[in-house]
Chain A
């Protein structure tokens, strides 16, 4: 059986950053297991620009970001990539069953990092009513077809959901000659970045229907039309507001879900909100030696944040490889009004900790109230929206007297 110090599952932005972090913290035997033919993960199909302002201080396309990041690690002998190689199973003592070009192999690692990214929610996942005609795609699938293969999947397109991939694809398909007739968002606010509403929809006069959804799709073999319907403040369809819009293509941009099939049977504690694993402030899951980062842990807004998190996760995995498991008791974040999730869910004292979370609604000039034994903070925030992840760093001095838990809420 092959043995490595650190196995990283997935060679996208999180995995590459984790390798860099672990290497810089003293691990010299790192294997990145990647199921595709190349590094980069989802970045390779995200050809638009806007990536990398934090990491490289310039605006890059997705593929360029991946190539630049790869450039930081490609000449390090202690980091090896194995492509077209998929982990089938994680067994006891971190023994991975890997299917690769040679066949089937067992690889034992002192620590494992899950950087497997996320998947898109599909028509089935949102219970879309109607048949399943040709012409209904997730936005990311349409993106892959267009940007990697050169196929335009529709000529008259409607987009359900205002997630960033859907907005980006509305522009992309318009540029390639399709007519994008509208984008519907169930919520009264957009889920995408404001800049994408501007440069992907407004630039091309594509209407955004807030508080609307697609009630049903019509067509047997090929999609022929959709029924667009308005919803009230409780997201209930408003009778009589229905309109039929003829289209040959519906793109779904209704959210991403961390991909965690590999660990489903391992008994690792999962977070019902993030759909990722529960981790401590060292990014370790509730199973010793298994770590998680990037979109596999929780869905991020920016690749730069994924790289930051991956890097920190890699460093923490290196600490574990050298020094073993943290011996102090875990503390936990308890969430109250306005906070939808928090990562990490558990933390150890003695270090500054960056908490990442999302809020449940739109707040202007609100405060984040965080308190526990020995500290009580009210942190003013100009603007809080669910589509933007919030990051708050608490200093080790703040947390010094914490005894088991701290509390979080949005204070209006």
Chain B
């Protein structure tokens, strides 16, 4: 399988092959590429970024990010699950907004502070 690595802006062209449990990655420039190639072959995952509503003086939306990558097929479900979430300022970067979203093992984290 030919893949473009998405782990950094360099976008290496990877060739990933699988023999049983053995996954082989070539074309990478760093260890992150091997990690990505393996995961993309076995269980593709994505880090999700989106926003939730916030009540504060100057802001209406709080940008959030998953604490770790989640299965690619569940990304839209997680976005939908956040539609009703509203937080109130102050919020600090790194605060957990939703713990263990949809039981996927990743938290939804504030990706900035809003006073």
Interface residues, chain A, with chain B CB atoms under 8 Å away: 37-38, 44, 47-50, 53, 59-64, 66-67, 146-150, 175-176, 193-195, 197-199, 203, 301-302
* Interface residue B112 (Cβ < 8 Å from any Cβ of A): yes
User: Which B residues have a C-beta under 8 Å from some C-beta of A?
Assistant: 3-9, 11, 13, 46-51, 53, 58-61, 63, 65, 72, 75-76, 79, 93, 111-113
CB–CB B51/A53 < 8 A: no
Given contacts A64-B112, A198-B6, contact A48 B49 (CB under 8 A): yes
* A to B CB contacts below 8 Å, 27 in the list: A37-B58, A47-B49, A49-B49, A59-B8, A60-B111, A61-B63, A64-B65, A64-B112, A66-B112, A67-B113, A147-B51, A147-B63, A148-B59, A150-B51, A150-B60, A175-B76, A176-B79, A194-B4, A194-B13, A195-B5, A195-B6, A195-B7, A195-B11, A198-B6, A198-B11, A199-B6, A301-B9
- Point out the residue from B6, B13, B111 that lies within 8 Å of A64, measured CB to CB: B111
- Rounded to whole angstroms, the CA-CA distance of A176 and B4 in the bound complex is 25
Please give the distance in Å from A60's CB to the nearest CB on chain B: 8
Docked Cα-Cα span, A48 to B58, in Å, equals 21
Partner of B111, one of A37, A38, A63: A63
Chain B contacts for A193, CB-based, 8 A? 9, 11
- Tell whether, in the assembled complex, residue B112 and residue A61 are in contact, meaning their CB atoms are under 8 Å apart: yes
CB closest residue in chain B, given A62: B63
Q: By the criterion CB–CB under 8 Å, are B61 and A150 in contact?
A: yes
Q: A residues within 8 A CB of B111?
A: 47, 49, 60-61, 63-64
Partner of A49, one of B47, B58, B72, B76: B47
Give B5 Cβ to nearest chain A Cβ, in Å.
7
Instruction: Report yes or no: A203 in contact with B46, Cβ–Cβ below 8 A.
Output: yes
Q: A149-B60, A175-B76, A198-B4 are in contact. Are A59 and B47 (CB under 8 A)?
A: yes
Q: Contact at A47–B63, with CB atoms within 8 Å?
A: yes
Measured in the bound complex, the distance between the Cα atoms of B6 and A199 in whole Å is 7
Partner of A199, one of B13, B46, B93, B113: B46
A61-B79 contact given A47-B49, A194-B11, CB 8 Å threshold: no
Instruction: Give the complex CA separation of A48 and B65 in angstroms.
Output: 8
Query: What is the CB-to-nearest-CB distance from A390 to chain B, in angstroms, rounded to a whole number?
Result: 13
* Residue among A50, A67, A203 making CB contact with B8, cutoff 8 Å: A50
Residues of B within 8 A of A176 (CB): 50, 79
Q: In the docked arrangement, what's the CA distance between A108 and B4, Å?
A: 50
CB of A50 within 8 A of CB of B9, answer yes
Q: In the bound complex, how far is the Cα of B91 from the Cα of A172, in angstroms?
A: 23
Docked CA distance A293–B13 (Å): 32
A81 to chain B, nearest CB (A): 15
Question: Complex Cα distance A67/B115, Å?
Answer: 13
Q: How far is the CA of A61 from the CA of B109 in the complex (A)?
A: 11
Contact residues in B for A49 (Cβ distance below 8 Å): 47, 49, 65, 111
With A47-B111, A49-B49 as known contacts, state yes or no: A147 contacts B9, CB within 8 Å. no
Instruction: Tell me the bound Cα distance from A194 to B76 in angstroms.
Output: 23
Residues B8 and A53 in contact, CB atoms below 8 Å apart? yes
Q: Is the beta-carbon distance between B93 and A148 smaller than 8 angstroms?
A: no
Cα distance, A362 to B65, chains bound together (Å): 35
Neighbouring A residues of B93 by C-beta, 8 Å: 63-64, 67
Residues from chain B with a CB closer than 8 A to the CB of A47 are: 49-51, 63, 111
Q: Which residues of A contact B79 (CB under 8 A)?
A: 175-176
Pick the residue among A53, A61, A175, A194 that contacts B65 (CB under 8 A). Answer: A61
Top 7 A-B residue pairs of the complex, sorted by shortest distance between their CB atoms: A194-B11, A63-B112, A47-B63, A61-B111, A195-B6, A195-B11, A198-B4
Give CA–CA (A147, B46) in the complex, Å: 19
CA distance A147 to B52 in the complex (A): 9
| In the complex, residue of chain B having the shortest beta-carbon distance to the beta carbon of A197 | B4
Contacts of A59 in B (CB 8 A): 7-8, 47
CA–CA, A149 and B60, complex, Å: 6
Q: Which of A53, A63, A149, A195 contacts B63 (CB 8 A)?
A: A63
